[in-house]
Structure formats: C-alpha cells, structure tokens
Amino acid sequence: MISRRNLLPVLTAGTSLYAMNDAKRKMTIHLVPGSIGVQLNQREAIEVAKRYGFEAVAPDGDYLATLQPGEIDALTAEVRSKGLIWGNAGLSVDFRKDPQTFEAGLAKLPAVAKALQRAGVTRMGTWIGPSHASLTYLANFQQHTDRLRKITSVLGGHGIRLGLEYVGPKTLWTSNRYPFIHTMAECKELIAAVGREHCGLLLDSWHWYTAGETVADIEALKKEDIICGDLNDAPAGVPVAEQIDSKRELPMATGVIPVGDFLNALQKIGFDGPIRCEPFNAALRAMPKELALDAVSKSMHKAFALIR
C-alpha cells in the first residue's frame, strides 16, 4: 500500500525521472487532477502539468465552453508554449441514469464539443457501469447502444472520438442483480453495436488485469481501437477476484500488475494517445497536492522508462 515511507524511493529518485525516456513512443503521460484526488482549475492544471513533468493535460470541456473563441485559442497557445498538449476530455453526459438526466446532459454536449474542437481536442473518455440493479444484460446493452449513438453522433461531428472503459473487478460486476460489460471482448461488442467510427476503448491496466486479460489481447488490437488509457497497479496479497476498485496503487508500487508488459504491448501496436494515472488510493488523496503530483509523475515516468 502507498505510504510516505514506501514512496520515499520514488520521491528521492531525482528529477531525471521527469525526463522522457529514449523510446520512440507517441503515447503521453497525462495529468487529470481529479483522478489523483487533486482539485485544480484549468489554468492551475496547465501550470502544474509543466512543473511536475507531465506531457499532456486534461481539457475541461465545461470550462472551455464558457470561453470566447479567441480565449480558447490563447489558452491552447499557452498549453503549447509550456511544451504540453491537450489530453482527452471527460464525458460530462450521464448516460447511466434516467432519461431526463441523459437528455439534459446531451443538450449541453454540442457547446462543449464545439469548444473542445476549437482547442484541437480529439479524444474523450468515459466508463461503463459493470452491473445494474434492474436492467438485464440485453436491456442494458440496448440502452447503452441507443444513448451512446446519440453522444458519438454529436462528438463525431466535431472530430472527437469517445473511449469506453469497461470495469473489470468481480467485486463490482457481481454487486448488483444483473452483471454487465466487464471485459474487453464485451466492450468491443458494444463499440461495434454503436457503429460509430468515433468510438473505441479506454484501456486501463487495472481493468485489463482484473478481467484476466493478456498481452495478446492488446496486441490483437489496432492503435485506432484505443482512444486513451489509464495506468495503475494493484495491492499485493489480494486474489484477483477479491480486488476492490477503490483500493489501487500507483504504477510500479507493487508489481502485481505487469505495467511494463501493458505499456510495451501498446507501444508494439503504435498507440499514440494519452495515459493517465487513476489509483483511487486513500493515502495518496490525503497527501498535500504537491507531494501527490510529484509521486504520480515520478511513478508514471518510472513505468514509461520500461518501454522498449
């Protein structure tokens, strides 16, 4: 588990861990502050992404939609001036709840998509709930297909591709009466049913591991099949079927998940998108934000150094 003591080797490894390794990779180390328990506004996120050695920073679509076109241009120029690029945005439409919630979110999506397109953002990600209390698999699949078609129709019109993240832990997909999508194969079936070229995978090492998948599963993909990615490790001494989604570790913290194999499989197929850290770790979230940002950046650089 993460603690100040076992983070010490990472934190004292030196600023060289911020440097990009020599591998000719195109995937980037992506800062999404909320995913590591750090609350920052858009401008603060851009500043700390540069300071702590990240290579991409998450665009806040809702914020960008409040700006004038010239202001979006200026902010994007600031990102580039710091040697950064925009990573993937998060989908703000809640398609998992009642029709009214979905339609309200969908109505706001065109303005967000337009602003993201102005900034040059081409990727967005979201997650698929792995179970449901009342909808059977088929009914849930149909609802997801219908709603995601509407979402990707809007996004595709603005040149944005949506990544779908399946959620792998058995402790989650068995938590409701009806299990739903929780593997790569099932998620690919949903993507095919949506039938939009602007839809693909959000591939997380945590879910890849908890779903019992292999390097061969990744190598069977094309780079275009993956929109964006996440990198995490898992607690040691916990059987895979008992892993809890909200109790993860920083990349390279335990070695339970072979993050080097995961990244090298992505490298082999030529993946060129952003990869964030999303450890859902209580100890990390309790740290001062400066310490948390430093730890995450260095753990990500340490993992990326394994890319051949």
Sign of the Cα torsion 59, 79, 87, 161 reads positive
Is residue 120's pLDDT more than 90? Answer: yes
Neighbours of 133 (CB within 10 A): 8
CA distance 55 to 20: 9
Neighbours of 266 (CB within 10 A): 27
Please enumerate in sequence order all residues whose Cβ is within 8 A of that of 262, keeping only pairs 6 or more positions apart, or say none.
205, 208, 215, 218, 231
Is residue 11's pLDDT more than 80? Answer: no
- The one-letter amino acid code at 275 reads I
Contact present, 280 and 248 (Cβ < 8 Å): yes
Confidence (pTM) = 0.92
Is residue 2's pLDDT more than 90? Answer: no
The pLDDT tens digits of the residues spanning 190-240 come to 999 998 789 999 999 999 999 999 999 999 999 999 999 999 999 999 999
Q: Is 179 helix (H, G, I), strand (E, B) or coil?
A: strand
Query: For residue 202, what are the CA distances in angstroms to 6, 63, 223, 239, 253?
Result: 30, 23, 12, 24, 22
Is residue 13's pLDDT more than 80? Answer: no
Q: Which residue has the higher pLDDT, 26 or 5?
A: 26
The domains found in the chain, sorted by start residue, are 26-304 (3.20.20.150)
CA distance 237 to 163: 31
Q: Given 3-state DSSP classes, what are the helix, strand and coil percentages for the chain, each rounded to the nearest 5?
A: 50, 15, 40
The pLDDT tens digits of the residues spanning 234-255 come to 999 999 999 999 999 999 999 9
The pair of structure tokens assigned to 28 is 């980037």
Residues 106-122, mean pLDDT to the nearest whole number: 98
Neighbours of 129 (CB within 10 A): 18
Contact present, 74 and 118 (Cβ < 8 Å): no
- How far, in whole angstroms, is CA 231 from its chain's centroid? 8
For 273-303, the three-class secondary structure string (H helix, E strand, C coil) is CEEEECCCCHHHHHCCHHHHHHHHHHHHHHH
The pLDDT tens digits of the residues spanning 261-307 come to 999 999 999 999 999 999 999 999 999 999 999 999 999 999 999 99
